[in-house]
Amino acid sequence: MFEAERSVAALENIHAKRAVVGLTIANDLPTPPTKLHRRILDGSQMLTSADNERLTRVGPGTPMGELMRRYWHPIAPAAELDANPLRTKEIRLLGEDLVLFRDRSGRLALLDRFCSHRRVNLATGMVEQDGIRCPYHGWKFGIDGTCIEQPFERTTTGNDAFAAKCGIAGYPVQELAGLVWAYLGPAPAPLLPRWAPLVWDEAVRDISIAELPCNWLQCQENSLDPVHTEWLHTNYPNYMRRITDMGEETRFEGLGPTAGKRHLKIRFYDFEHGMAKARMVEGDTGEEEDWTVGHPVLFPHILVTGCQFAYTMQFRVPIDDTHTNHISLYIFPTAPGTRAPEQKSVSYRYVPLKDELGNWIVDYSFNQDYMAWVEQGEIAQRDQEKLGTSDVGIIRYRRLLLNQLDALERGEEPMNVFRDPALNECVDFPRERIKHRMLTRPIYKPGPGEVTGIAGEYGWSSDTHLIEAALATWDTIPEHARPPRAAEPASPVVEPVANV
């Protein structure tokens, strides 16, 4: 059985067994309002300033910093490190300055960025067979941070006794799905989660990275906010097109007939690995997977979007209190029973936030998100918010974060920390296979006369040809085959979103 087929079978089992303990909010709110609605609208669900500090500060010794250090985080594309002749890359993660390198024997390492001698940046160092050597005086460090050579000190003393006192911090690193992952927490390190889309054999992948000058939490809270899509990703970009004379509103009918429609109901439910959000929009019957399944948020900072043709795992990785690496891993699984084209390494790119004039790039859904998150300020002032009924998912997610902080402070292990290899072989979760009723397989990069592609943010993958080849495998299944050219819509449509 192919990996995709095994995953579908496992997913059907998840759907059958999960307990939906969710909450539904409709646009046509009951009158008089329920107790829940009153609690939201009277302001009692707002976060206090103290709790905001507790959830947003990520440095060593802070509550959220300690929680985040119980998890593995993606920190760099493996291909980027390998393309650098120095074999090094500066990393800042959870407020710590580090250096990532691959030694000449092929082993990855993540160390404190600065030599313990005179504090020279080791990203400028000489990578050797068994470690990295500082260029200033030749002190050498192994992949665990141990100081293994001090040339002049050895010459003058005849031994390495002083070296034993001069090590620097070293952290576990692993490679999976084209990304390098790091763990900064206490030993023993848990297993690196093998989420299903990370380990599918028959898939093409692509990585994009955007460095955002804002706190991680305002990025992640977006994942529990279904209603923003019809405004930020539909009305706002079309407004921008009108006022800047960019021509008629772009049609995105290629993403499905209900994409971008007005919300009627939203729903949230818990599952083993996090929360899921679901929506009903105009034209839905309630039988769509947008409502019955929705898309998941994997605790603590992952959102998974997409459908059977293409999924995106979005990681909101805290650089420090006021900066976030938004890492998007695009996964394009081939149709069941087909093989993916060979991909020697996973392609990557960095996504700009603004154009050459300093204006926000807002032609793509993820870029629209980036604008909104950054414009909330470096750290959103949640004690100043006026939350409404569209914010139920955000309130629920904040409670989950606070509960997990409390559990950690009691000495308990937080959720999604994996230690049993048998349970970590391929960790699946509820996810939509058909989204916005989209049965026809999409395209990635549109050509003349073709409908909008499914790229979520500015730019295109250098492996576009491989992505298109993976999508084309769905043409072997007639109901999913893409028409040769886009049909003209029967009536005007609004622009929907890939990131919903």
Q: Per residue of the chain (500 residues), what is the pLDDT tens digit?
A: 344 444 444 444 444 333 334 555 555 444 445 555 555 555 557 889 999 999 999 999 999 999 999 999 999 999 999 999 999 999 999 999 999 999 999 999 999 999 999 999 999 999 999 999 999 999 999 999 999 999 998 888 888 889 899 999 999 999 999 999 999 999 999 999 999 999 999 999 999 999 999 999 999 999 999 999 888 988 888 888 888 876 666 655 556 777 778 899 999 999 999 999 999 999 899 999 999 999 999 999 999 999 999 999 999 999 999 999 999 999 999 999 999 999 999 999 999 999 999 999 998 889 999 999 999 999 999 999 999 999 999 999 999 999 999 999 999 999 999 999 999 999 999 999 988 888 888 888 877 666 567 778 999 999 999 999 999 999 999 888 876 654 333 333 333 333 33
Instruction: Decide: 82 and 75 in contact? Cβ < 8 Å.
Output: no
130 contacts: CB under 8 Å, gap ≥ 6: 103, 104, 105, 142, 143, 148
Tell me, yes or no, whether 70 lies in a domain: no
Whether residues 195 and 141 share a domain: the answer is no
Q: Which among 90, 87, 80 is positioned nearest to 112, based on CA atoms? A: 90
- Counting every residue written for the chain, the total comes to 500
Q: What is the pLDDT of residue 372?
A: 97
Tell me, yes or no, whether 13 lies in a domain: yes
Tell me, yes or no, whether 52 lies in a domain: no
Q: Which residue range(s) make up the domain with 92? A: 75-179
Token pair belonging to 220: 């992640």
Whether residues 127 and 26 share a domain: the answer is no
Q: Which residue type sits at 172? A: P
Would you give the DSSP letter of residue 198? H
Whether residues 238 and 333 share a domain: the answer is yes
| 379 φ, ψ (degrees, to nearest 5) | -135, 115
Token pair belonging to 179: 């990304």
Report d(CA 178, CA 80) in Å as an integer: 10
175: three-class secondary structure by DSSP: strand
Tell me, yes or no, whether 368 lies in a domain: yes
Whether residues 142 and 197 share a domain: the answer is no
Q: What is the pLDDT of residue 25?
A: 57
Q: Which residue type sits at 457? A: E
Tell me, yes or no, whether 426 lies in a domain: yes
147 contacts: CB under 8 Å, gap ≥ 6: 116, 139, 140, 141, 163, 164, 166, 167, 168
Token pair belonging to 368: 């629209």
Report d(CA 228, CA 341) in Å as an integer: 36
168: three-class secondary structure by DSSP: coil
Tell me, yes or no, whether 492 lies in a domain: no
Determine how β-strand 203-212 pairs with β-strand 295-298.
unpaired
**Nearest-5° Cα angle at 71, 65 to 74:** 100
pTM for this predicted structure: 0.89
Peptide bond between residue 197 and the one before it cis (omega within 30 degrees of 0):
no
Tell me, yes or no, whether 442 lies in a domain: yes
Q: How many domains does the chain have?
A: 2
Whether residues 206 and 308 share a domain: the answer is yes
Whether residues 165 and 197 share a domain: the answer is no
Q: What is the pLDDT of residue 20?
A: 37
Whether residues 371 and 338 share a domain: the answer is yes
Residue where one domain finishes, among candidates 154, 179, 204: 179
Instruction: Decide: 272 and 299 in contact? Cβ < 8 Å.
Output: no
CATH number at residue 157: 2.102.10.10
| Distances, alpha carbon 5 to alpha carbons 204, 336, 375, in Å | 16, 6, 43
Cα pseudo-dihedral 463, 464, 465, 471, rounded to 10 = 120
Q: What is the pLDDT of residue 61?
A: 97
Tell me, yes or no, whether 291 lies in a domain: yes
Report d(CA 428, CA 6) in Å as an integer: 11
| Distances, alpha carbon 100 to alpha carbons 108, 124, 179, in Å | 7, 11, 12
Token pair belonging to 150: 């001090």
CA–chain centroid gap for 147, Å, is 35
Q: What is the pLDDT of residue 391?
A: 94
